[in-house]
Amino acid sequence: MTAKIAYDDVEVGTELPAQTFPVTRATLVRYAGASGDFNPIHWNERFAKEVGLPDVIAHGMFTMAEAIRVVTDWTGDPGAVVEYGVRFTKPVVVPDGDEGAVIEVGAKVAAKLDDGTVRVDLTATSGGQKVLGMSRAVVRLA
């Protein structure tokens, strides 16, 4: 499968559809089971606060995975992503309760590269705080 977006049809500055991703404690427990990362900062409020965190926090790799969904949904092909990296700037704090937290992700095409790929820069925030920095993906388009 290849990306459904054509390289020639994309311009620098093209904004990808923004998305929001809800995160609850139950989401984190499911992710812990899938990833094998059972660090108590991701599910135990008392422990998280004892180590200086404001509350339970989402797994960094979970946050990173949610953010790239904006790109994979846009391309229609997760395999189109050839490179992806972020810096974790702030944790996603997930309060107890039905509301939990929300990760808000936006992205835009920052550069068209000579090899038929584009660089997409992403922004991810939660609770008004930037949670990922230097979030960039290189994507091979049709």
Residues 6 or more apart whose CB falls under 8 angstroms from that of 46 comprise none
Residue type, 74: W
User: The whole model's pTM is what?
Assistant: 0.94
- What pLDDT is stored for residue 15 in this prediction? 98
Structural domain boundaries in the chain:
7-21+59-140
Q: How far, in Å, CA of 32 to CA of 76, rounded?
A: 27
Q: How confident is the model at residue 2 (pLDDT cuts 50, 70, 90)?
A: low
Is pLDDT at 1 greater than 70 in this prediction?
no
SS (H, E, C) 1-33: CCCCCCHHHCCCCCEEEEEEEEECHHHHHHHHH
CATH superfamily of 7-21+59-140: Hotdog Thioesterase (3.10.129.10)
Which whole-number Å values give the CA distances from 125 to 88, 102, 122, in the listed order?
11, 8, 10
